Structure 1
Amino acid sequence: MAAMVSPVLWCALLCCLYSVALGGKEHNFVVVPASSFEPEAACSTSVTSELPNRASVPLAHRHGPCVPSGASGKPSLAERLRRDRARANYIIRKASARTKTLSAGDASVPTFLGDSVDSLEYVVTLGIGTPPVQQTVLIDTGSDLSWVQCAPCNSAQCYPQKDPLFDPSKSSTFAPIPCSTDACKALSADSYDNGCTNATDGGASLCGYAIEYGNHAVTTGVYSTETLTLNAGVSVSNFSFGCGSNQHGPYDKFDGLLGLGGAPESLVSQTSSVYGGTFSYCLPPTSGSAGFLTLGAPSNSTADFLFTPMRHLSPELATFYVVTLTGISVGGTALDIPPAVFSKGMIIDSGTVITGLPKTAYAALRTAFQSAMSQYPLLPPSENGLDTCYNFTGNSSVTVPKVALTFSGGTTVDLSVPSGVLVEGCLAFRGESSDGSSGIIGNVNQRTLELLYDSGRGSVGFRSGAC
């Protein structure tokens, strides 16, 4: 006769099985306090470590309390997403126009250079000139040519900024670039040239630059070289940048822009002889915390990174860094998305807020995410373009499913929860109009990850929990 199992043993066994099952479920969900979705009033800074062969500077949200010159008024979510949509549309149009074969009579090309500068969200503080003058500039992996506003510049020519204007006449290392140089001629290939300007002293004509962004903001001036100070011990000599003498459009008090794209004019390309064309950054989880921007690869080990191949859309689009997404999972369950949906690649962009997915992929993600969050009231779709937003009023905590992205090579990256999945209670993804164009991985999904762009190896690395 079979041995009898005592009620106590049965209870212990069932409790054990229940705990294992529950633990498996909980492993794919994260319980976060409802206060996680509220803005922070104070800055909780992180320290960037000094590593051999690398140069690091603190990075912060432009509308948060960690900006040295103080935060400016933060636009509403609807306004931020309106600007973001304009930027994303421009990038996708640019990518599509340069990578397709134009047929006879087809003149569909981007109208504007650059992208919507006022949608950019993260800044670093650098020194420019000798002695160095502090400048707080936007970082942008979707732009190449860096610039700051230069004195003399009156209110009709420049917009108000919080730091003092950079005055080239007070720097011992400033030098305008002559119009006849190869450096000036190279601006034409990347559509940054603006002809020649007359020198004030009657000497050789100078190299003019011009950028018009997708939101009609314009900066023009003289292409120049200067010493760029990244931190107390690291500087870049003869850094080529735009000394802006005429800026107009919807600018918002930042001092300029630092281009981190892949074209020759970018900081990354200009320092490639020292740092190998490699850089990384970590975008902080909230506007009240700090991250970092670093030039150079880790000299000790990259064992903590997960890598996927990097590619470019075409030689004419060296600016953008592209990876291949192969799958998405929600709450530990892989979504049924045909790999061909992602064939056009995903542009990783520090300046775009919301990730834009091919239509089919987003539909699958939205269905799975809404199912996993069904215990919370779903708000009606709003004019901000996001259709999966929640009302967490009355909840002391919120249970959010993990979302993971899988890239070519089998690399799977868990997004930070909630900061890398939700923005102000909304799923930080949107669907594009079709499956036939490149997508964009926005900066919300990148939060707390160190993204290592290694052009030499042709790869992008991801390190979790870096800031």
Structure 2
Amino acid sequence: MSAPPPHQQEQSYDTLMFLLVMPRPDRAGAVVPLLHRHGPCAKSPSTDKPSSFAEALHRSRVRADYIMSRALRGRGTTTIMEGKVSIPAHLGTSVDSQEYVVTLGLGTPAVEQVLLMDTGSDLSWVQCAPCNSTDCYPQKDPLFDPRKSSTYAPIPCGSDVCKSLQSNHLGNGCSMNDNGTQSQCGYRVQYGGGLKTRGVYSNEALTLAPGEVVKDFHFGCAYKQRGADDKTDGLLGLGGAPQSLPVQTSALYGGSFSYCLPPVSSGTGFLALGAPSNTSGFSFTPMTDFMDDGTSYLVKLTGISVGGKQLRIPRKVFEGGLIVDCGNIISHLPSTPYAKLRSAFRAAMAAYPLIPSDDDDTCYNFTGYSDVTVPKVALTFTGGVTVDLDVPNGVLLDGCLAFTESGSDGYVGFLGNVQMRTLEMLYDARGGGLGFRAGAC
């Protein structure tokens, strides 16, 4: 397949997706379109310097290590799996790797909030006023001020909602009144990139689209942050635990949701709450929780093909599965499938100069090439579901193969958001499956 030079299409690892309101006739729930931050349709294109592939890879590995440590921490162990230490001594200091945002309305009257979209997190939060520059990081929008909302209310300390934070390892605690009584429920979350946030767990109206208002949405009103930031207003959790947006709105939309992440050069994508009325265009593979942590979504990979040729890989090396993570840019594969994929891809790309790398990355110099032929890459999941990745947007990032090694064979891997591009990813809560629909955006 011929395509324009990938370096002209893949501009950065710092890809943020802006959502506006758009109706969809095939949905009973809320649907909003998605624009790439660096794409041609962004109403306020980003002026920040795009990250390099090396930075993207570092951030991706930091995030993967954090998700693994979080799951193992819930099991009370620091087990070594397949010869690889699952919990690093330090998580690293790079910015968190959530790379897509939604623009929603919070409060009454609704105030626009730009939130990072993350399937690897549950609790949603925004920075709240009053908060000075030493306690909150700088953001592009004014801080959300709960004092100006008629529907804001802190969640009581002794409530079941507050107690659920502790059961989900979110570190709840209760603030004290001047008279020594407990009144407000506190939350505390730390992310893989070093960002820490804490504040008051609260109740508020959340506007998803015109006429689509969640009246009692639980979120964190953040008063103290530490670590790196992306200058967004907060985070929107799409994980599987009770604090997430899909679970909180399950009575309205059934708990299912989907999204389509467009490449840099395209127009719009979307995030949708609620399953489409017709799923005949989807191919489904079974989906489970990862290590019973309640947050992460796990699927099983069974095979990989390059250029239409199936690679000879024993199925047992895929036993750990893949965590489906829209906040992780690059896909992580166990050592054998990664080596086989890299070797086959390099052979198919032998016509182009490979850039030397100390980390043995697969990056190319396409300078001077008007046409670049990129081989098709397909992933096969449990049930015989084969997904053709978009070429080149779902294969290359900044001229580099957007895959890395996760660890020894049998170790857990990650399906990153580069590989999701142009696919509608349907998280079917009732059917317990992950659906793929090609060419959705």
TM-score (structure 1 length as normaliser): 0.85
- C-alpha distance after superposition, 1:56-86 (max 9, x if no partner): 1233445667565552513421223222221
For 1:165-244, what aligned pairs fall within 5 Å after superposition? 165-199=143-177, 205-244=183-222
Seen in structure 2, the aligned counterparts of structure 1 residues 100 and 357 have a Cα distance that, compared at 3 Å, is farther
Matches within 5 A, 1:254-273: 254-273=232-251
- Displacement of 1:97: 5.7
Aligned twin of 1:25:
none
Indicate the SS of the match to 1:205: strand
Deviations 1:322-361 (A, max 9, x none): 1110000000000000000111111000011110001000
Amino acid at match of 1:389: C
Q: CA 1:355 to 1:108, structure 2 compared with 1: closer, same or farther past 3 Å?
A: closer
Report the secondary structure of 2:164's partner residue. Answer: helix
Q: Check conservation: 1:44, 1:289, Cα contact below 8 A.
A: no
SS in 2 for 1:436: coil
Residue in 2 that maps onto 1:136 = 114
**Comparing 430-439 with 145-154, which one deviates more in the overlay?**
430-439
Partner of 2:403: 429
Is structure 2 residue 329 aligned with structure 1 residue 329?
Answer: no
**Runs of 5+ consecutive residues of structure 1 not aligned to the other structure:** 1-29
C-alpha distance in structure 2 between counterparts of 1:48 and 1:337, whole Å:
43
3-state SS, counterpart of residue 313 of structure 2:
coil
* Structure 1 residues 417 and 386, CA gap change in structure 2 (3 angstroms): farther
Q: What is the identity percentage for the equivalent residue pairs of Structure 1 and Structure 2? A: 58
Q: Secondary structure at the match of 1:360?
A: helix
| Residues 1:187 and 1:35: Cα distance change in structure 2 (over 3 Å) | closer
**Mapped pair 1:390 → 2:367:** no
Query: 1:10-409 to 2 correspondence within 5 Å?
Result: 30-34=1-5, 37-38=8-9, 48-51=22-25, 52-62=27-37, 70-77=45-52, 78-95=54-71, 118-199=96-177, 205-286=183-264, 289-299=267-277, 301-315=278-292, 317-382=293-358, 385=359, 387-409=361-383
Q: Which whole-Å CA distance do the structure 2 matches of 1:259 and 1:201 have between them?
A: 35
Secondary structure of 2:204's partner? strand
Post-superposition shift, 1:381? Answer: 1.7
CA RMSD across the alignment: 2.8
| Separation of aligned partners in 2, 1:65 and 1:138 | 20
Label 1:357 to 1:410 Cα distance change in 2 as closer, same or farther (>3 A): same
CA distance in 1, matches of 2:7, 2:87: 42
Deviations 1:121-171 (A, max 9, x none): 111101100111001110000000000000111111111111121110110
Displacement of 1:380? 0.9
In the alignment, the residues of structure 2 paired with residue 50 and residue 298 of structure 1 have an alpha-carbon distance, to the nearest angstrom, of 9
SS of the counterpart of 1:130?
coil
Greater C-alpha radius of gyration: 1
The residue matched to 1:81 in structure 2 has which SS?
helix
The alpha-carbon distance between structure 1 residues 46 and 156, as it changes in their structure 2 partners (threshold 3 A), is closer
* AA partner of residue 130 (structure 1): T
Is the CA contact (8 Å cut-off) linking 1:358 and 1:433 kept in structure 2? Answer: yes
Q: Secondary structure at the match of 1:88?
A: helix
SS in 1 for 2:202: strand
- Flag structure 2 segments of 5+ consecutive residues without an equivalent: 80-84
- Mapped partners of 2:406, 2:223: distance in 1: 38
Contact 2:18–2:100 (Cα < 8 Å) also in 1: no
Structure 1 pair 328–108 and aligned structure 2 pair: CA distance change class (3 A): closer
How far has the Cα of 1:290 moved from its partner? Answer: 2.9
Contact preservation (8 Å) 2:240, 2:294? yes
TM-score with structure 2 setting the length: 0.90
